[in-house]
Amino acid sequence: MLERTARELSDLLARCEISAETLTQAFLQAIRQRDPQVRAFLHVDEDAALEQARSVDARRRRGESLGSLAGVPVAIKDLICVRGQPATCASKMLQTFRPPYDAHVIERLRQADAVLLGRTNMDEFAMGSSTENSAFQTTRNPWDLERIPGGSSGGSAAAVAACETPLALGSDTGGSIRQPAALCGVVGMKPSYGRVSRYGLIAFASSLDQIGPFGHDVADAALLFDAVAGHDPRDSTSVNRPAPICRQTFDRDIEPLALGVVREHFDAGLDSEVERAVREAIRVYERLGAKIVEVSLPHAKYAVATYYLVATAEASSNLARYDGVHFGHRSREHSDLIDMYCRSRGEGFGPEVKRRIMLGTHALSSGYKDAYYLKALKVRRLIHDDYARAFGQCDAILGPTSPTPAFKIGERGNDPLAMYLADIYTIGANLAGIPGISIPCGFTRSGLPVGLQLLAAPFEEEKLFRIARTFERATDWHTRRPRFVS
């Protein structure tokens, strides 16, 4: 039962072949047994989860109308606010914070009658690509416990891969859903910017952040996407247009189908085994009748530099509120107000967060703003235009999600640049505001998952799911589960 997809579990629940309470107990037991190895969860509220499950069962017995996720467990990344539960962002700065309200996506999950299992680990304030930057624990990849699960949503990806939850929410600022999905062998999807409300999402970089789903397959991701997508007037960047109901259309073919392969995505730095798996995935699409065209993103080589100016500048601004007075940890020992600010932020933030705050503050400082931040915004527009031209030639762009498989824990801890380059294929989608999905497309010889990334034009999530499902129907990579949970 634990290895079934969310859609299969939903069908079992609807037919009353299993109760929501029994299903929730099964996943809570799996967390107790497996999470001491995986360390995906920071907080599990068993009593609240079981209470939600029993409520669903009681309403089902009374014949009441239920939501699309009735009784299905969902895990939540620890930067999405859930009323009364910890929302630490995996940081000492927010170690004692319990939000007094639900994020918009949590309201939507409650309306869908989902069961909220708990809070998943992440890189502190979503800053990282390995989930090693958490202030509390290092999450491990279920396929190899000596390796990282990716980041920053590594806890959510690992929890789904380890079958500790069928569904999870993460956030994606530069690849933080798609990259861990690829490294953990699950499906992870970043919606278009503005498609899912950021109300109640603790911000890293406000013009880049977006909440999205994890699941075992495309159907699961579509099911969770449908539950949370849609307009919210409390988020000024939320787009007021109807969200598609992707779970109803994801199995339909797209004919004719043209897919773009970016020549710049197969340059030096791409692992040979990752390239082999991705090129085989391209051949699968060709055998299915897709036309493969070569496209170019000429400004892609500037994406990493652009991203780490825009994202760090916004982080510097967003994280200024955590000063020990308005929000966050306050140092117990200080001599005056300035000393209190310094000590509070010094004690509350970890090394990577401090590094990005300093980079962003420098980029915004007098005499440097025009040279760095404003120029980065101009290059961001050029990157956006590159994608727009590419989508004039194809329905979607496909290529590798990550340049390498999962690396070993500690392997890149002293090399920030190498860590930043882990997002080289994913950050462009955030800069352009377009949707992207990572789906399993193979394994290395040592048994590590490889992810295929698909990107579509803004607000074409429905098309994206259909194209991803086309590949999934022809392969079985998404059915594989880590050996240690078998």
Question: The pTM is what?
Answer: 0.97
Q: 469-481 b/e with 16+ CB inside 10 Å = b?
A: bbbbeebebbebb
Give the containing element (helix H, strand E) for 305.
helix 303-318
- Which tokens is 390 given? 């590419």
Q: What is the pLDDT of residue 381?
A: 98
DSSP-H helix ranges across 120-265 = 154-161, 178-184, 218-228
- Strands of 19-113, DSSP E: 41-44, 73-77
Q: What is the per-residue pLDDT across 214-258, written as a single tens digit (0 to 9) for each?
A: 999 999 999 999 999 999 999 999 999 999 999 999 999 999 999
Burial label, 351 (beta-carbon count in 10 A; 0-12, 13-18, 19+): exposed
Length of the chain: 486
- Sorted by where each starts, the structural domains of the chain and their CATH numbers stand as 6-254+465-485 (3.90.1300.10)
Q: What is the pLDDT of residue 484?
A: 62
Catalytic annotation, residues: 77, 152, 176
What mean pLDDT value characterizes the chain? 96
DSSP 247-275: GGTTTS--SS-EEEEEGGGGSTT--HHHH
Name the pairing type of β-strands 258-262 and 73-77.
unpaired
pLDDT digits (tens, 9 = 90+) for 268-280: 889 999 999 999 9
Helix (H, G, I), strand (E, B) or coil at 451: strand
Q: Are strands 258-262 and 187-190 parallel, antiparallel or unpaired?
A: unpaired
The pLDDT value recorded for residue 485 is: 46
Cα gap 428→95, rounded to integer Å: 32
pLDDT at 455 > cutoff 90: yes
Using one digit for the tens of pLDDT, what is the confidence trace for 388-420? 999 999 999 999 999 999 999 999 988 888 898
Token pair 């603790």: residue: 202
pLDDT tens, 184-211?
999 999 999 999 999 999 999 999 999 9
- pLDDT (0 to 100) of residue 470: 97
What is the pLDDT averaged over residues 107-114? 98
* pLDDT on residue 486: 41
Per-residue pLDDT at 148 exceeds 70: yes
- For residue 165, the model assigns a pLDDT of 98
